[in-house]
Amino acid sequence: MYICSILYNMTYKRILLKLSGESLMGAKQFGIDNQRINAYAVQIKELHKMGVEVAIVIGGGNIFRGVQAEEGGMDRTHGDYMGMLATMINSMALQSALESNGVNTRLLSAIEMKEIAEPFVRRRAVRHLEKGRVVIFGAGTGNPFFTTDSAASLRAIEINANVILKGTRVDGIYTADPEKDKTATKYDQISFDEVYSKGLNVMDLTAFTLCKENNLPIIVFDMDTPGNLKKLMSGEKVGTIVCN
């Protein structure tokens, strides 16, 4: 028996927003689209004005991916650290966009970069959120072989977030890839166990298991549609929710 429908109507006090690096490209083939990142900043500002405490984790795939480096013959550990630096570039870009829109932010890095970011300290991160600052977590977990999905799950649990909002290019979880299979149908809600059994791709297995074991719901939604974040926080059924 799902409790997902109840969770949709909850008032979330603290959320972790997970964005992919690829989403920042917009219509470009590489790098950062300034219009896209500003559109994201505007949506996040709407959440912030509602009094929601917002933490963010961004991938780095628009710049560099450690897995791709390994496929090209580069050492995986080396490639993953390069990927962590890519997430910091994206995090700094989003921080700048948010502050240009009048939102106070703090960028915390899992790797020491004292000239551009604070080191990640859990208590400090929570205090920033309590003071009404948007907190951006950069450099993944600080360890190779872990994705930014895993970083998002870990940080969400550490800061006691109520939910992970995974922003994607599609409007939820489908029976198959809707960009490849036109007959694919969308789930409004689904359990963690069903995602496992059906082999659906929501997050990597490490990240997904962390959420399941800590009873942390995930909502997968279309971040590229303006207003979706605000609708979610207003209790509207946007995207697909995954829960125990």
**Structural domain boundaries in the chain:** 4-243
Please name the helix (run of DSSP H) or strand (run of DSSP E) that holds residue 151, with its range, or none: helix 148-158
- If phi over 0 gives left and psi between -120 and 50 gives alpha, with beta otherwise, what is residue 140? left
Residue 146 CA, chain-centre distance (Å), reads: 14
CB atoms within 10 A of CB 237: 17
**105 contacts 134 by C-beta, under 8 angstroms:** yes
In sequence order, what are the residues at sequence separation of 6 or more whose Cβ sits closer than 8 angstroms to the Cβ of residue 150?
Answer: 140, 141, 204, 206, 207, 210
Phi, psi of 116 (to 5 degrees): -125, -15
Cα–Cα dist 162/165, whole Å: 10
Residue 149 near residue 140, CB atoms below 8 Å = no
Q: How far apart are CA 15 and CA 74, in angstroms?
A: 36
Q: What is the CATH number of domain 4-243?
A: 3.40.1160.10
Beta pairing partners, 8: none
Any idea how long the chain is?
244
Residue 104 · residue 134 · CB < 8 Å: yes
pLDDT in the model for residue 8? 55
Higher pLDDT, 202 or 106: 106
234 has a pLDDT exceeding 70: yes
The predicted model scores a pTM of: 0.93
Q: Is residue 162's pLDDT more than 90?
A: yes
| 44-93 pLDDT tens trace | 999 999 999 999 999 999 998 766 766 778 888 989 999 999 999 999 99
- pLDDT, average across residues 193-211: 92
What would the pLDDT profile of 171-181 be if each residue is shown by its tens digit? 999 998 888 88
Query: Please, which residues bridge with residue 105 across strands?
Result: 134
CA distance 156 to 12: 13
